[in-house]
Amino acid sequence: MAVRQGALVARCPYVSKVQAVVGGRWKIELLYYIGIKGVRRFGAIKRCVGGISDSTLSKQLRELERDGLISRHDFGEVPPRVEYRLTPRGEGFVPVLEALREWGEREFAEDRPL
Amino acid sequence: MAVRQGALVARCPYVSKVQAVVGGRWKIELLYYIGIKGVRRFGAIKRCVGGISDSTLSKQLRELERDGLISRHDFGEVPPRVEYRLTPRGEGFVPVLEALREWGEREFAEDRPL
């Protein structure tokens, strides 16, 4: 149902929060590999995503941790061992990740014509 | 099931394509207002999203059109009337948008503690 174009549509606080939390150039992929593929370590995550610098990956992981989607566990070992996992909030995002992947597979499987 | 951390997890072509097509700072919100709230016009979309410049909004809409999620219809009128709508590919993304919004509402409704 098209909105009468003059009518003011209020900004949805949840959609703008979701945009802020999972938006950007990398976070959907990072959540996919950490959450669905069980990739835990910094180096392994970096290899999966490809083309991301160490500093950008660190920043993205810190933001995901700050926003409560992943947790960082330092085992206090030498050499250092640190793992990233989904939090309960992050686990709640897994169905969305699966829906995103399924849509992607449907739409871009053979680069179907529009 | 955690992946043996040395094991190479192949990059999923679909997830990286989805990340490229709907990633960034604005596109989830733009698709939400165009697709779910039926907001069609440039000015109305801009008012919904808030804080986006004309040039950025134009670029984002061009990219969504290039990637086949929205279509731009110019009515050839004076003054000009242009509307944006979801394509079939974009319509296929609506269930994902709804899942994103529901997750956002669950997780950020009262800024629930983590």
Break chain A into its structural domains and give their ranges: 25-108
Work out the percent of chain B whose per-residue pLDDT is above 70.
Answer: 89
Query: Comparing A109 with A52, which gets the higher pLDDT?
Result: A52
Range in A28-32, B42-46, B50-54, B108-112 the model is least confident about = B108-112
Q: List residues bridging with B83 in a β-sheet.
A: B73
Q: Do B104 and A2 touch (CB under 8 A)?
A: no
Looking at every residue in chain A, the average pLDDT score rounds to 90
Query: A86 with A38: CB under 8 angstroms?
Result: no
CA distance B71 to B67: 10
pLDDT at B10: 78
Residue labelled with tokens 């009468």: A4
Q: Do B39 and A3 touch (CB under 8 A)?
A: yes
Identify the residue among B47, B63, B108 best suited for mutation to test binding to A, counting A beta carbons within 10 A and taking the highest: B108
- Short-list B107, B88, B104, B98, CA closest to B37: B98
User: Under CATH, to which class is B26-108 assigned?
Assistant: mainly alpha
Per-residue pLDDT at B8 exceeds 90: no
User: Under CATH, to which class is A25-108 assigned?
Assistant: mainly alpha
- pLDDT category at B5 given cuts 50, 70, 90 is low
CA distance B59 to B61: 5
pLDDT in tens, A77-113: 999 999 999 999 999 999 999 999 999 999 998 655 5
pLDDT in tens, B34-66: 999 999 999 999 999 988 999 999 999 999 999
- Short-list A96, A90, A28, A75, CA closest to B24: A28
ipTM score of the complex?
Answer: 0.84
Dihedral over Cα of A45, A46, A51, A55: its sign: positive
pLDDT in tens, A10-26: 788 889 999 999 999 99
Residues 21-60, chain A: which have Cβ within 8 Å of B? 21-29, 32-33, 37-41, 44, 47-50
